[in-house]
Structure 1
Amino acid sequence: MKKLFAYSLLAGLLFGCKKDNYPGSVISPFVAIYDIRQLYKGADVKLTKDNMGGSTTITAMVVSDHSGGNMPAGLLVVQEARRLSSVRGISIPIGDDAAKYVPGDSVSIKVEGGVLKRVNGILEITGVPSAAIVKISSGNTIPINQVHANAILASPSDYESVLSVVVKGGFDPLPQPTDVLAGDKVLNDGFGNLDLHVEASSALAGFTAPFSANYYGIVFNSADGKGTLTPQLRPRVAGDVIVLSSAVTIASAVITGFASDVKGADQPYEYVQLMATRDIDFSVTPFSVVILNNANASTPVGYPSKGWATGDMRSFKLSCFSGFAAKGTFFYVGGSGKMINGAGSTSMAGSNWIRAFDYSKQGGDGFGRATTGLMANSGNAFGIAVFHDSAVDVNSVPDDCIFISGGGSLYTPGPPEQGYKINNTDFLQYRRSGISSEAAVLQGRFEHVVFRLQYRRRGVLQYAGRCL
């Protein structure tokens, strides 16, 4: 009997005690919106401490703005990126009190006891009283989620109730001069067709439908009987529609590649690859290629008061005043080394070099100090632009341009406004390492191709250069 008691006591000690790996610790009361959204599997879910991992509350930023009259009535829309740095949003119906909150308000919301459900296609937490919401602060900066239409269409739930911006969107069909924003319109950004919704009673309804604009707004979903989600973008107020120029540039020459930070010494081996979209006789129609460098040590420091023509160590101009490039062919501008990837690599001397010299010994044509590196390796953005002119000044707008990486003093609204003017031609995509497409073909280094969408209009994509 004593042995049996001893065995029972031992078993109780081994299996009856709950191990505490973190003695004295407590579970955070805050749960990520990402995790809450994961709880919904097609049926209503009551939110409890158990299914929220012991938490009860969300903290988030308000993104809804009811002052423009284009939000679903009574919805407070909040977002955050607590989990995996992934922005997720949620809508909470609280009636007229939703209008008391404005974008940039930081709030704490106790959601325990609420019900997660889809209402008219929108995932909401219902049953949350206004008293459960506490405003922590106001005037906070909201990170903007720039997104392509095809990403929203592919994952509508991920973008639902999130403040997003669709860049360079146009309508299909193109708007007539008398068309206004009211109603549902097909918005195309070159990547997909997305519904843009503006209530007829909203402050935006009578605005003229622009040829091209950046559209800020919140994504909401509708659902059919089978649960298929259809997203729509709702701008909140007039300031959410940033009208862009209606003048579309058809570039005579486009940038298709570049070689920066080549193997070994950079000078004089860095260069730019371009393609002519028409026959160009440079002796008759001179062009210019400008390469800008925004490394922190580049002078003059600060924002570029003269734009692309700032000069010194910030920008370097190469004038193209002789030679010929036939429509659809590549031509090159840059260092006199004329090698694919620095000294010892394959020669490109037989290619069509329109302008090449040793930029470490010679300054730019008109502006730019002699340098051992045309293109920045500092991590800050550097840019390349081609101008349909031999003269470049503060007001010059390029035919085509690209920016690589980010950071540096690129733009300030001022006053005075300072920055680099860009063209209204396309949406640029690039990869960081800049071997030209021809170089990639010859070396078999396909991962280094600079790939870009060159011209889009009403969703029709045309590719310049070699698409590998």
Structure 2
Amino acid sequence: MKKIWIYITLCSITLLWTACKKHDFAAGTLSPIIAVSDLRDLYKGSDVTLTKDNMVGASQIVGIVISNPDSGNVPKNMIVLQNFRRSVTRGVLLPLGDAAANYHSGDSLVVKVEGAMLKKVDGALQISGLTESDIQKVSSDNPVKMQQASSYAIKTNPGAYESTLVQIKSATISPAPKPDETFAGERYLVNGADSIIMHTEATANYADTKLPGSATVAGILIVGQHDGQPALSIWPRYGSDISETTKPVDPTGPGLGNGAVIITGYINDTKGADGNYEYFQFMATQTIDFEKTPMAVVTCTNAGTAAPNAGDAPGAGWATGGGRTYKFNLTSGVVNKGDFFYVGGSNKKINGPNSTDISTSKWIRAIAYVTNDGDGFGSMSAGLLPNSGNAGGIAIFEGTDVVETSVPLDVVFFGGTGKTTIYNATTNKGYRIPENDHYNPVDSTGAAQSFMFQGSNNYIFPHSTPADAGIFIKLGGSFDVANKKWITPRAHVYYTLSASSLIDEIEKGADATTLSN
């Protein structure tokens, strides 16, 4: 009996010991690698010596080089290392002196950082104290991940983009370049309500290339000094980082003038889902080749929570971007006098999901706006136009360079009559309006009233009801082409579409817009 109890006791001890070993094993071995995002979080405003203790047992970082010394446009003596870990992209600068020239875009590196210093120099986070012996190159020619971002997103959360490869879509070059000006030096990329500096060293292999009027620009986002202050700048790596260019506007060229294109209808609340199904109808009053004469369509929404400038008028008017305004660039295609054409969501259906395909109609620009930012400004959104509440608007501009002072060629507003988020009389901020059938930038006494809801500019087409009925709003009137003015002002007609409705239903009939010669 005594032997049995001894055996049971030994078994119990063995089981306890095994259980303890399992617990230790489950705890795992700490990784020798720390994500760059976690490393950046260690900086709290003062220099940090990197140790295994503060890096939770780690001693290394890994990443892909995104800088390329051969291009001639990279911060001197710097490696820019980008790391994608746990679905987050972050970057950091590695000052390495002349040895930085040995590392090129696409190199995969393992870097020993234990004992180095995490610090900010001129506002940029870097790891100092490294030597080439701390760096192991694992492979070359690896793909480099690029983040697409608006200048608004970058300014809102700069740490998410600092020292990473970013692309800014359809940005306007400012100041507007003269015909012979080149990339060398600094220019602003105007993108909605914000701008980013574009920096090009004189040694860059594209420095002597002539500047476009606007472009999609990729490059490394660098934090540095500009006029003595910390500033964000994008450093393109090669000439191929500059794409989707448009020529600078010829200051001596003829302008189209108000009424070259008029807004004739829209659908803001399709049957079922709205995302990528909203669209806007226009009519050309003269022949326009958008490649030669580009234009832009901008929508706005003004709920009290819409940002930036939540609860207030838009800080940069139609160019505010973010969740307030969204831009479509019209840069290709031809429309003739009297043609209807369309701009809007990528699905190109007449009335939401499972309705008639109208993709064979004259579409000049379509964007999958649920998953894509606008052309130059505007954040991706489930819907561009409001279905209730404060007014929304649609405007069309000559050129793609839309800034705070830009005045549209035509504009309509629809919805509620709340003014707070549309015009601020104290700051004189809001949406600029042209002279058309319902708005005038000058009142009857000759005084300026440049904005919607300023002076007599109060005309609003009401929201359609009921919701989710698939109502296309026809804006019918009569337009005098010769004198570029409305003979009969636009009035609204709510036209309820079905899933099988055809395009003729929104382009023809007594309630459609007509032209008078």
Could you say whether these structures have the same fold, taking a TM-score greater than 0.5 normalized by the shorter chain as the test?
Answer: yes
Q: Which runs of 5+ in 2 are unaligned?
A: 1-19, 250-255, 287-334, 417-517
In the TM superposition, 1:357-368 aligns within 5 A as none
Aligned to 1:158: 160
Note closer, same or farther for the CA distance 1:163–1:259 as it changes in structure 2 (3 Å cut).
same
Q: TM-score, normalised by structure 2?
A: 0.54
Contact 1:44 1:116 in 2 (8 A): yes
Q: Which residue of 2 aligns with 1:176?
A: 178
Q: How does 1:48-447 map to 2 (within 5 A)?
A: 48-83=51-86, 85-222=87-224, 229-246=230-247, 252-253=262-263, 256-257=266-267, 262=272, 273-276=279-282, 285-287=338-340, 334=350, 372-374=354-356, 387=362, 398-404=363-369, 431-432=381-382, 437=386, 440-441=387-388
- What is the Cα deviation at residue 28 of structure 1? 0.7
Alpha carbons of 1:289 and 1:164: their partners in 2 closer, same or farther (altered >3 Å)? Answer: closer
Q: Deviation digits for residues 339-392 of structure 1, max 9, x if unmatched?
A: xx99xxxxxxxxxxxxxxxxxxxxxxxxxxxxx5446xxxxxxx96963xxxxx
Partner of 1:35: 38
Shift of 1:141: 2.2
Note if contact 1:94-1:130 (Cα within 8 Å) is conserved in structure 2: yes
Q: Distance in 1 between matches of 2:84 and 2:25?
A: 26
Counterpart secondary structure, 1:72: coil
Q: Structure 1 CA distance, aligned partners of 2:143 and 2:394?
A: 32
The answer to whether the 8 Å contact 1:289/1:385 transfers is: no
The one-letter code matched in structure 2 to 1:60 is G
- Against the structure 1 CA distance between its residues 105 and 454, is the aligned structure 2 distance closer, same or farther, given a 3 Å change threshold? farther
Give unpaired runs (5+ residues) of structure 1: 1-16, 295-314, 317-333, 336-340, 343-371, 376-382, 388-397, 408-423
CA distance in 1: counterparts of 2:91 and 2:56, whole angstroms: 19
CA contact (8 A) 1:172 1:458 kept: no
Q: Which amino acid aligns with 1:459?
A: V
Q: Indicate which of 396, 401, 416 corresponds to 1:457.
A: 401
Aligned length: 332
Q: Superposition pairs for residues 13-24 of structure 1, below 5 Å?
A: 23=26
Post-superposition Cα deviations, 1:378-435, rounded to whole Å, max 9, x if no partner, equal xxxxx96963xxxxxxxxxx4342335569xxxxxxxxxxxxxxxx98756553469x
C-alpha separation in 2, matches of 1:183 and 1:74: 19
Q: CA deviation at 1:230?
A: 1.4
Pairwise CA distance, 1:122: 2.0
Identical residues among aligned pairs (%):
28
Q: Distance in 2 between matches of 1:43 and 1:239?
A: 38
Question: What amino acid is aligned across from residue 29 of structure 1 in structure 2?
Answer: P
Distance, in Å, in 1 between the alignment partners of 2:128 and 2:360 is: 52
* Alignment check: 8 A CA contact 1:290 1:384 kept: no
What CA distance in whole angstroms lies between the structure 1 residues aligned with 2:100 and 2:120?
A: 19
The 2-side partners of 1:433 and 1:458 are apart by: 21
TM-score by length of 1: 0.59
- Post-superposition shift, 1:72? 0.9
Secondary structure of 2:126's aligned partner? strand
Q: Take 2:38 and 2:68, find their aligned partners in 1: how far apart are those partners?
A: 25
- Pick which of 154-163 and 123-132 moved more: 154-163
CA contact 1:62–1:107 (8 Å) conserved in 2: yes
**How many Å separate the matches in 2 of 1:157 and 1:426?**
21
Letter in 2 for 1:274: F
Give 1:44's aligned residue.
47
The 1:42–1:198 alpha-carbon spacing in structure 2 relative to 1, beyond 3 Å, is same
For the Cα contact (< 8 Å) 1:385–1:399, is it kept in 2?
no
Distance (whole Å) between structure 2 residues aligned to residue 171 and residue 288 of structure 1? 28
The two structures, once aligned, show a CA RMSD in angstroms of: 4.3
The change in CA–CA distance for 1:256 and 1:148 in structure 2 (over 3 A counts) is farther
On the 8 A contact 1:212/1:246 being kept in 2, the answer is: yes
Q: Deviation per CA, 1:32-72, whole angstroms, max 9, x where unpaired?
A: 11111111122211110011111111111111111111111
Q: Distance in 1 between matches of 2:375 and 2:361?
A: 12
Distance change >3 Å, CA 73–CA 272, structure 1 → 2 = closer
Structure 1's 192 and 291: CA in aligned 2 closer, same or farther, altered over 3 A? Answer: closer
| Letter paired with 1:79 | Q
Encode CA deviations 1:69-113: one digit per residue, 9 max, x unaligned: 111111111112324x23210010122332222222222111111
Aligned position for 1:348 = none
Give the direction of change, closer, same or farther, for the CA distance of 1:30–1:374 in structure 2 (3 Å limit).
farther
Residue 88 and residue 255 in structure 1: after superposition, are their counterparts in 2 closer, same or farther (change >3 A)? farther
Note if contact 2:284-2:339 (Cα within 8 Å) is conserved in structure 1.
no
Does the CA contact (< 8 Å) of 1:255 and 1:400 recur in 2? Answer: no
Q: Is the 8 A contact 1:46 1:114 kept in 2?
A: yes
SS across alignment from 1:457? coil
Instruction: Give 3-state SS (helix, strand or coil) of 1:67's partner.
Output: helix
SS at match of 1:150: helix
